[in-house]
A and B are shown apart, each in its own frame.
Chain A
């Protein structure tokens, strides 16, 4: 659950980051289409919610919120520091993180 929280916040912020004009341009040299932007924003918020659920499962609400904010800070810093050097690395890590976060949460929910 801890890993789901870490991956989820990172992937969620990465998605929100690439939903902006400025950072999408770092990948494709043009602004994202409306649909792409909406999809990235939805995915980003969904992943942040998944991470919050994971934090609650691990720590309960009170501590979970503290942990969620901490993870969001660290996740945001990682993506921001990655962008100038390896923007596509951010995409790759974001996808891996999203996959891992969903897998962890799904595995716990089913078993």
Chain B
């Protein structure tokens, strides 16, 4: 089997790609969607479109009075302000009796906007990072990331004509050639992205799977490491009420340190207490490193307590990798580039899975084993089924009644049954048909999403939603094209090969 270096690399690429590719497809697809986390969240909470703009001082003052009414006893408040000219809500989050509550406030009126219960785009972030399974999931995804790196490097080794085939795509040739061209095209042209995103994804949570340093130097406490790196201005509450200064008062001195119009998040600890601290964090969408400069003030006297705008260099290097992975810098253009590159990664994994089946059909042409049949069916569910499940999340967001209890949990909870249905369908139908049918369903779900948005409270040409709708339509058309070509090919194929009827004949 493993005669030479190249052959052993090919073996590694094939098997690593297949076994990890099933889950990697879902991880990369949700990761690609997670780039537009905020836009998807906005799309999924159409109620928030009522928000208008207001000067930031006024918005902050309104947030303060709302919090004083609703959560005067909270141990901390967190107020996230929209960027200077964005018509976005102010996000209020507070902690009371160890529980967190989130509300959205219209900055122009100071009233809470009632929203449907949904995780929004955060679902994709969570699934991408840890499969919604805490640290266990994080470990699994990290293992996937290692396998992805191995598949990438072994793929580079076995691809002998990287430069000669750089632009080569021949969709009209036989299936294996066409899919191979697509696979190498997506791999080679987006190779810097594949390597960067996989490596930084692994580097991001290194403290979880390489904990030795923290165990040795910080008694195993990640918080202790954090406290040494991020200057802390917390202090215990005195439980003595005091007259607090208006929060808007702190914006000017904070922005004198952090930069004009740069304050994004205001964190208030021990509100209304003599030990009250107001800490203001800078936005960091104008730099790659995901670190928020911050300045803290005494909430009662207004005296500055300190600030942090200089960071430990090794931490900065790490946070640059985190920032590179999360893509919140450089504006919409960069995020679209990330999104398209992410689609290329997803397409690379999907086409790789399909190629596994096609290649084995050539080398083991006489008969397909039970293993081959199983792989073919799992492939359909792992690629087309996951596409359908992700699209179903958007549909459920609009179709489930707004008043449903535990609505957010239903939105996510129904995805597994839906995916299982696609797996069942893939097991019952001949694979060639199952592919066409599921990709067609994905095409219809995707193309009609903008219409559903319009019919259930969305505005057609408004900012963030326009992007989500346009992406859905674009992907839907691509799925439609793919389904159409698959149909045409399977028709031609049936005429030329396979005299017998029934599912088995189509394996060849």
Contact = CB atoms under 8 A, between A and B. Distances in A.
A binds B: yes
Interface of A: 2, 13, 17, 20, 22-23, 59, 62-63, 66-67, 69-74, 76-77, 79-81, 83-84
Nearest to A67: B334
Interface string B287-298: 010000000000
A13 to B, nearest CB: 8
B169 A73 contact: no
Given A66-B330, A73-B341, A80 B193 contact: no
Interface residues of B, number: 25
15 contacts: A17-B166, A20-B167, A22-B164, A22-B168, A59-B334, A62-B288, A63-B334, A73-B192, A73-B344, A74-B340, A76-B166, A79-B167, A81-B169, A83-B167, A84-B169
A67 B330 contact: yes
B159 interface: no
A59 B333 CA distance: 11
Nearest to A3: B333
A14 to B, nearest CB: 9
Contact of A66 (B185, B189, B334): B334
A61 to B, nearest CB: 11
Contact of A70 (B169, B193, B329): B193
Contacts of B189: 72-73, 76-77, 80
Nearest to A5: B333
A17 B167 contact: yes
B343 to A, nearest CB: 9
Interface in B238-296: 288
Interface string B150-189: 0000000000000010111111100000000000011001
Contacts of B186: 77
Contacts of B25: none
A73 B168 contact: no
Given A20-B167, A70-B193, 9 more contacts: A67-B334, A70-B337, A72-B189, A73-B192, A74-B337, A74-B340, A76-B167, A77-B340, A79-B167
B111 to A, nearest CB: 38
Nearest 8 A-B pairs (CB), nearest first?
A70-B337, A76-B189, A80-B167, A17-B167, A69-B192, A73-B190, A63-B330, A80-B169
A20 B164 contact: yes
A8 B172 CA distance: 30
B324 interface: yes
Interface of B: 164, 166-172, 185-186, 189-190, 192-193, 288, 324, 329-330, 333-334, 337-338, 340-341, 344
B330 A69 contact: no
Contacts of B330: 59, 63, 66-67
Nearest to B332: A2
Contacts of B185: 77, 80
A74 to B, nearest CB: 5
A93 B288 CA distance: 32
B341 A80 contact: no
B167 A69 contact: no
A35 to B, nearest CB: 21
Nearest to B188: A76
Contacts of B324: 66
A74 B193 CA distance: 11
Nearest to A21: B164
A70 B167 contact: no
B364 to A, nearest CB: 30
B169 A67 contact: no
A59 B285 CA distance: 12
B412 to A, nearest CB: 31
Nearest to A77: B189
B323 to A, nearest CB: 10
A2 B330 CA distance: 11
Contacts of B192: 69, 73
A11 to B, nearest CB: 14
Given A66-B288, A70-B338, A2 B190 contact: no
A84 B329 contact: no
A76 B167 CA distance: 7
Given A17-B166, A63-B330, A71-B337, A84 B171 contact: yes
A94 to B, nearest CB: 12
A71 B185 CA distance: 15
Contacts of A13: 167
A22 B166 CA distance: 11
Nearest to A13: B167
B162 to A, nearest CB: 13
A56 B186 CA distance: 26
Contacts of A81: 169
B203 to A, nearest CB: 16
Contacts of A69: 192-193
Contacts of A80: 167-169, 185, 189
Contacts of A62: 288
A98 to B, nearest CB: 17
B148 to A, nearest CB: 17
Nearest to A2: B333
Contacts of B338: 70
A76 B471 CA distance: 20
B167 A73 contact: no
A77 B170 CA distance: 13
B167 A63 contact: no
